[in-house]
Amino acid sequence: MGYFGNQPTSGDNNSFKVLDDISSHTRQFDGSSAAIVSTTDNTITVVGHRFVQGQRVSYTTSGGSIGGLSSGTNYFIIKNSVNDIKLASSAANANNNIALNLSSVGTGTDHNLTVAFDSVNTKFKLTFGNGDFTAKVTRAPQITVSVNGVIQQPQDTTSPSTGYGIDSGDVLIFATAPAPTDVVWINSLAQNSPTFDISDNTVDTFTANGTDTDFSLSKTPANNQNVLVTLDGVVQYPSDNDTVRAYQLNGNVIAFTSAPANGVAIQVRHIGFAGATSSNVTGVFGRTGNIGIIDSDPIVAIQSSGFGIGTVRTLNFIGLGNTFAKNGSTIDISIAGGGGGGGGAFSTSITGLSTTSSIVGFGTTTVDSVTLQGIGNSAKGIYIENGMALFMNELNGDHYIGTAYNGLMAGPVTINGNLFIDGNYVVV
């Protein structure tokens, strides 16, 4: 009896177990030992046993029977502790803790207690590793149980009217006791699997009326493959892109191709979706299914000269004059200043670099000086700190000095081209 599901990335990373067979289980003990059979306490020590309170067991031995017991006879378990049991002559006596008197030890070491499918027992302990470990099942939807090929309905109760339930101590409770000829298999979904689904494995149940085809689910599955649907325990096949079958999902609504017959029990088990470590991504920003990025998603792609240079979540504009505009799905950003927070901004044109600052400083961290700015911050010009202005001694190509302007060059200057002067040209 195995499992299905994806390996979780956190929590219990050993969730995938092959459970021990529950159809028949025998524990052998040395019935001739006074350390095992206590005639004082009427107990039998079976360390780490898998027996459940009230279970019917068969006692057999190839030696002499323990006093008070008879080989080949059925008795009922009184669970004294995880390592000790008592036996009762009936289920009623077991429930009332009325144990048989064990008058003497037996002979021989071959004494056995066997619990099995017998059309009487409804409770069985779930373990793995030949009984060394408990399955850690706390809720019925954690496991899938099939009896003779029909999946059983899980019930979150210790008294299931149909299907099965789970009691404390990893005890599986059948609504109907399995017969010796019944074939039972159990899938364990996991002990604790945080990435198996973002919430508990929910089971939605409905009763068909023979007319309705649509039923609203308690939550929205990712797709058809993320629910297990049964009609009276028979698994239904979902429709896909190529074939119309029993049902399909539309959001949180399951739509059957034809209305299930009146009175049919409908069960929809949400089995979660695969994590991104082993499958394609099926959810982002809390949304599942075939999603698209929306405006509220905090993702910005940065691009320069047609090349993507990464993604960020926040754009922080520092300084005056910076602007941005939204054009469809694109943000156009204009960075007007150098991030200093005041004093003007630079811009470009076909003639070069321009600024609204009164003084442009080179080789300095600031031009906010009284000796530079003057009264009322009236000075305008270029300030070079601990440096000099450098000019080429050649003037190449065509140049023009307008009427309202003075041209300045450090000479001597060789003019290789045309210099048109309507203003003044000074060579220093």
Highest mean pLDDT among 345-354, 360-369, 381-390: 381-390
Evaluate if residue 104 carries a pLDDT over 60: yes
Q: What does the block give as tokens for 202?
A: 């929910």
Q: What does the block give as tokens for 251?
A: 């959001």
User: CA–CA distance from 405 to each of 178, 355, 401, 421 (Å)?
Assistant: 108, 19, 6, 9
Of the two residues 336 and 269, the one the predictor is more confident about is: 269
Lowest mean pLDDT among 31-40, 49-58, 88-97, 197-206: 197-206
DSSP secondary structure, 231-253, as one string: ETTEE-PBP-SS---SEEEETTE
Question: Around Cβ 278, how many Cβ atoms within 10 Å?
Answer: 10
Predicted confidence band of residue 84 (pLDDT cuts 50, 70, 90): very high
pLDDT confidence of residue 427:
76
Measure CA of the first residue to CA of the last residue in the chain; give whole Å: 100
**d(C-alpha 231, C-alpha 226), whole Å:** 17
Of the two residues 232 and 12, the one the predictor is more confident about is: 232
Amino acid present at 332: D
Mean pLDDT (the chain, rounded): 80
Of the two residues 362 and 291, the one the predictor is more confident about is: 362
- Provide the phi-psi class of 93: left if phi over 0, else alpha when psi is between -120 and 50, else beta: alpha
Evaluate if residue 70 carries a pLDDT over 70: yes
**d(C-alpha 70, C-alpha 58), whole Å:** 10
Lowest mean pLDDT among 48-52, 66-70, 159-163, 418-422: 418-422
Of the two residues 184 and 276, the one the predictor is more confident about is: 184
Cis peptide before 412, with omega less than 30 degrees from 0? yes
Closest C-alpha among 182, 80, 90, 202 to residue 142: 202
Considering only CA atoms, give the Rg of the chain.
42
Lowest mean pLDDT among 20-29, 103-112, 135-144, 187-196: 187-196
- Confirm if 49 and 124 have CB atoms less than 8 A apart: no
**d(C-alpha 304, C-alpha 316), whole Å:** 17
195-215 pLDDT tens trace? 444 445 688 999 999 999 999
pTM: 0.47
Highest mean pLDDT among 51-60, 285-294, 312-321: 51-60
Lowest mean pLDDT among 231-235, 275-279, 294-298: 275-279
Highest mean pLDDT among 13-17, 327-331, 394-398: 394-398
**d(C-alpha 99, C-alpha 88), whole Å:** 5
Evaluate if residue 127 carries a pLDDT over 50: yes
Q: Name the percent of the chain lying above pLDDT 90.
A: 39
Closest C-alpha among 115, 62, 122, 54 to residue 89: 54
Evaluate if residue 33 carries a pLDDT over 90: yes
pLDDT confidence of residue 407:
83
Q: What does the block give as tokens for 58?
A: 């068969």
pLDDT confidence of residue 384:
78
**d(C-alpha 369, C-alpha 150), whole Å:** 90
Q: Where are the domains of the chain?
A: 24-188, 203-288, 390-428
Q: Mean pLDDT across the stretch 353-370? A: 73
Evaluate if residue 276 carries a pLDDT over 50: no
- Confirm if 113 and 79 have CB atoms less than 8 A apart: no
The b/e string for 97-129 (b: 16+ C-beta within 10 A; e otherwise) is eebbebeebbeeeebbbbbbbbeebbbbbbbbe
pLDDT confidence of residue 389:
80
DSSP secondary structure, 341-407, as one string: SSS--EEEETTEEEE--SEEEESSS----HHHHTGGG---EEEESS------SEEES-EEE-TT-EE
Closest C-alpha among 86, 21, 77, 71 to residue 52: 77
- Classify burial at 77, counting beta carbons within 10 Å of its beta carbon; exposed 0-12, middle 13-18, buried 19 or more: buried
pLDDT confidence of residue 361:
76
Of the two residues 261 and 349, the one the predictor is more confident about is: 261
Q: Which residues pair with 164 in a beta bridge?
A: 154, 174
pLDDT confidence of residue 178:
96
Residue bearing tokens 């088990």: 269
pLDDT confidence of residue 295:
61
pLDDT confidence of residue 251:
77
**d(C-alpha 160, C-alpha 152), whole Å:** 11
Q: Is the dihedral of CA 41, 43, 49, 55 positive or negative?
A: negative
Predicted confidence band of residue 106 (pLDDT cuts 50, 70, 90): very high
**d(C-alpha 219, C-alpha 231), whole Å:** 20
